[in-house]
């Protein structure tokens, strides 16, 4: 049996004809080799926070490459590496001065998990090995990150080889557990986490890992108010570290530089990637709190994780250029201000569609979930492949969005994710809204009847 990841597979977008061949990009637009132009409304998978072809970023990378591509971490430090560390600390908060640079989101999560384990070993609690994660979450494709991810199609071929983890329920106001009122969801979910910690035994739990705003696996799901703070209390009560996976929702995407800043919560460790380097070069980081760093440094002198390309000099130069622009042009503040307007505009454009069940998000991180029945919130039959259909209709209309499926229970559910660049103009955002409406209407009109 083949396990397909329908909305994500190349065939979902290209269906036999193959994918368009990318040629060049400028701002929010990407052009293919056949001369077609696409408005990149999702920034690929929520990556291109400054859009494409940014001349300042390209110039910074080129200048670095002309000097040297990479100074290997055991031989050298570098200006870009130290500048990027300073920019991250300035954006994330003074407590976050320790970090490990990597080449992407999975490595960032993998490093975060290892830092948590190292911390407990350093404290003399090496029995704390278990991670608790949530259903409908995605943390990456490396084996450790996959082991704490709940994305059925992507896990299936590897089941049996993944480290055992605990999963608590997803936390989704639109789809709360039966009998739980939306207003009671935060408390209910925090209690479920605490029960699982007690069941496993607090002395065996290393960390709770979660996406502050769930991305691809849930269709952009912000938490209910107060949830993160309650989880922080639970973790603190039991000596369990809190790891925030901010690979997709972080680095400003949700209108605060750290996604959890919005919730007023400081995690022990957080993972960033995607928007950190804006897609210009592969870049990510696991950033950890001073109190974690102190323990690790005292026992081991530093984190026992990293790779050949940790702190890659040109990648760090890309990150410095991107983060300097984000800061200088006050783009996180712009996302915070414009996000609610974008959400409202999508509401006006899509509100009359019976098949649109929920439009939600934070900042420039928005999900549109489709339902066969608005009243019962019943999803469409997976065999219809609605998300893939919307993705293909969008491509036809000259729009790149991010279709996803399985967000309800791992198999059922269809949604699209929008994540425009932070510097998209009002006119471009308006075009995204209009083309999204067109793509959804076209896909729905073409659904088989009955």
Ligand X SMILES: Cc1ncc(COP(=O)(O)O)c(C=O)c1O
**Rounded to whole angstroms, how far apart are CA atoms 259 and 336?**
11
Helix (H) or strand (E) holding 95: none
The CB-of-212 to ligand X minimum distance in angstroms stands at 9
The CB-of-340 to ligand X minimum distance in angstroms stands at 23
Tell me which stretch binds ligand X (CB under 6 A): 75-83, 134-142, 236-244, 440-448: 134-142
3-state secondary structure (DSSP) of residue 174: coil
Choose among 293, 243, 291: nearest CA to 269.
243
Which residues in the 163-222 window bind ligand X by CB under 6 A?
Answer: 211, 215-216
51, 71, 140, 275: residue in contact with ligand X (rule CB under 6 A): 140
Nearer to ligand X, 314 or 433 (CB): 314
Tell me which stretch binds ligand X (CB under 6 A): 68-76, 132-140, 302-310, 409-417: 132-140
Tell me which stretch binds ligand X (CB under 6 A): 245-253, 256-264, 308-316, 440-448: 245-253
3-state secondary structure (DSSP) of residue 289: coil
Could you say whether residue 267 binds ligand X (CB under 6 A)? no
The CB-of-246 to ligand X minimum distance in angstroms stands at 8
Binding mask 18-47 for ligand X (x = CB under 6 A): ---------------------------x--
Could you say whether residue 109 binds ligand X (CB under 6 A)? yes
Question: What is the separation of C-alpha 125 from the centre of its chain, rounded to a whole number of angstroms?
Answer: 31
197, 243, 273, 314: residue in contact with ligand X (rule CB under 6 A): 273
C-alpha separations of 191 from 136, 222, 223, 230, 427 in Å: 18, 19, 15, 9, 45
Which residues contact residue 31 at a Cβ distance below 8 angstroms, ignoring those fewer than 6 apart? 22, 23, 24, 25, 37, 38
Choose among 88, 19, 110, 65: nearest CA to 280.
65
- Contact at 8 Å (CB) between 51 and 25? yes
The CB-of-151 to ligand X minimum distance in angstroms stands at 10
The CB-of-106 to ligand X minimum distance in angstroms stands at 3
* Residue spans of alpha helices (H) in 8-151: 10-14, 43-46, 55-67, 79-92, 105-122, 143-147
Could you say whether residue 118 binds ligand X (CB under 6 A)? no
DSSP state of 34: T
Tokens 């190349």 belong to 10
Could you say whether residue 106 binds ligand X (CB under 6 A)? yes
Could you say whether residue 280 binds ligand X (CB under 6 A)? no
Could you say whether residue 247 binds ligand X (CB under 6 A)? yes
Could you say whether residue 138 binds ligand X (CB under 6 A)? yes
The binding site for ligand X (CB under 6 A) comprises 45, 104-106, 109, 138-141, 211, 215-216, 245, 247-248, 273
């Amino acid at each position: 049996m083949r396990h397909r990841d329908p909305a994500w597979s190349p065939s979902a977008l290209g269906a036999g004809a193959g994918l368009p061949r990318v040629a060049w990009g400028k701002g929010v637009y990407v052009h293919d080799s056949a001369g077609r132009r696409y408005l990149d409304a999702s920034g690929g998978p929520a990556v291109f926070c400054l859009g494409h072809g940014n001349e300042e970023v390209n110039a910074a990378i080129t200048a670095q490459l002309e000097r040297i591509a990479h100074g290997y971490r055991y031989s050298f430090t570098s200006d870009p590496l130290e500048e990027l560390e300073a920019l991250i600390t300035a954006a994330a908060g003074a407590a976050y001065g320790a970090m490990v640079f990597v080449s992407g989101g999975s490595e960032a999560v993998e490093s975060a998990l290892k830092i948590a384990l190292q911390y407990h070993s350093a404290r003399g609690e090496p029995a704390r090995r278990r991670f608790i994660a949530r259903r409908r979450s995605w943390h990456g494709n490396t084996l450790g990150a996959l082991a704490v991810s709940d994305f059925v199609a992507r896990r299936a071929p590897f089941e049996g080889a993944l480290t055992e983890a605990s999963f608590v329920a997803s936390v989704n106001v639109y789809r709360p557990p039966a009998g739980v009122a939306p207003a009671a969801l935060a408390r209910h979910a925090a209690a479920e986490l605490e029960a699982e910690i007690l069941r496993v035994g607090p002395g065996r739990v290393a960390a709770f890992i979660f996406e502050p705003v769930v991305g691809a696996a849930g269709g952009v799901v912000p938490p209910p108010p107060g949830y993160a703070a309650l989880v922080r209390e639970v973790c603190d009560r039991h000596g369990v570290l809190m790891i925030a996976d901010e690979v997709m929702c972080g680095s400003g995407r949700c209108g605060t530089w750290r996604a959890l800043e919005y919730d007023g919560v400081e995690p022990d460790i957080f993972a960033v990637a995607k928007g950190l380097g804006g897609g210009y070069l592969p870049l990510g980081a696991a950033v950890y709190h001073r109190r974690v760093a102190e323990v690790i440094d005292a026992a081991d002198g530093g984190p026992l994780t990293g790779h050949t390309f940790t702190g890659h000099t040109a990648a760090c130069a890309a990150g410095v250029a991107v983060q300097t622009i984000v800061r200088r042009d006050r783009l996180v503040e712009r996302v915070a201000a414009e996000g609610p307007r974008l959400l409202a505009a999508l509401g006006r454009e899509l509100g009359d569609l019976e098949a649109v069940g929920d439009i939600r998000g934070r900042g420039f991180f928005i999900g549109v979930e489709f339902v066969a029945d608005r009243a019962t919130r019943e999803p469409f039959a997976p065999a219809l492949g609605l998300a893939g259909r919307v993705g293909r209709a969008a491509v036809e209309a000259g729009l790149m969005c991010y279709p996803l499926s399985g967000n309800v229970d791992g198999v059922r559910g269809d949604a699209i994710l929008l994540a425009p660049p932070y510097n998209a103009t009002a006119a471009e955002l308006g075009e995204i809204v209009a083309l999204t409406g067109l793509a959804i209407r076209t896909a729905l009109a073409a659904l088989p009847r009955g």
